[in-house]
A = this chain, B = another copy of it.
Amino acid sequence: MTRILVVEDEPAIRDMIGFALKQAGFQYDESEDAEQALAAVASGPPDLVLLDWMLPGMSGADLVRRLRGEEITAGLPIIMLTARVGENDRVHGLELGADDYVTKPFSPRELIARINAVLRRSVAVAGEQPIEFDGLCLDPVGHRVRTDGETLALAPTEFRLLHFFMSHPDRVYSREQLLDRVWGRGVFVEERTVDVHIRRLRKALAGRGYDRFIQTVRGTGYRFSTGN
């Protein structure tokens, strides 16, 4: 499930966006200002940010700059919502690092279309970069996992699982969520199947001690994290 963070101070617009997102099958969180948004992002980065240009307090532009500055959120796709139509402002917004912009008033369909377009692009671009944690390196393009020197042999599902975890570190996922995002929607398997694959992945990662990255959160699910 794709998670979208909406940063918008005007309740009416927020509701409309929320409705459109729900219709389109996105999961979303809402923030009324930049501070709330930063907190939300810190507690777990979404897959995309919908950001109003005009916000009380810290402006949308400032928020973009902040997000781009942080290591973790530097690649986060951002779509600006703006009432301004001048070419200058548009260029300015894009220069700051937004991936796209939508001018008010906009139709829900246009919004969804742009979200999908940006997500496609960001997946295509960001999805190709190798991901590394503490010497454990996953290369999506070459479809390999390396630990200082040696290449691990992972079964397809193990690879997808690890790939998902390393793309979303420090977040707990329930078995149901993992089934959705690693196995795919509409696939019906027992939830306990996840446990077995976690076990297999851990076994593959062990030996070099990397199994400690796959953590159990009792009563909730599993998490990938280099700390604890």
Give A contacts to B, CB under 8 Å: 12, 15-16, 19-20, 23, 87, 91, 94-95, 97-101, 105, 107-110, 113, 121, 125, 139, 141-143, 151, 155-156, 170-172, 217-220, 223, 225, 227-228
Alpha-carbon separation in the docked complex, A151 to B217 (Å): 13
Alpha-carbon separation in the docked complex, A139 to B223 (Å): 13
A220 touches B143 (CB 8 A): yes
A172 touches B99 (CB 8 A): no
Contact of A95 (CB < 8 Å), options: B16, B94, B143, B220: B16
**Binding site secondary structure of chain A:** mixed
Copies of this polypeptide in the complex:
2
A97, closest chain B residue (CB) = B109
Contact of A107 (CB < 8 Å), options: B15, B98, B139: B98
Contact of A151 (CB < 8 Å), options: B94, B151, B227: B227
A99, closest chain B residue (CB) = B107
B156 touches A91 (CB 8 A): no
Q: Which residues of B contact A125 (CB under 8 A)?
A: 109-110, 113
Alpha-carbon separation in the docked complex, A101 to B108 (Å): 12
Contact of A156 (CB < 8 Å), options: B139, B142, B156, B220: B220
Least CB distance, A65 to chain B, in whole angstroms: 13
A91 touches B12 (CB 8 A): yes
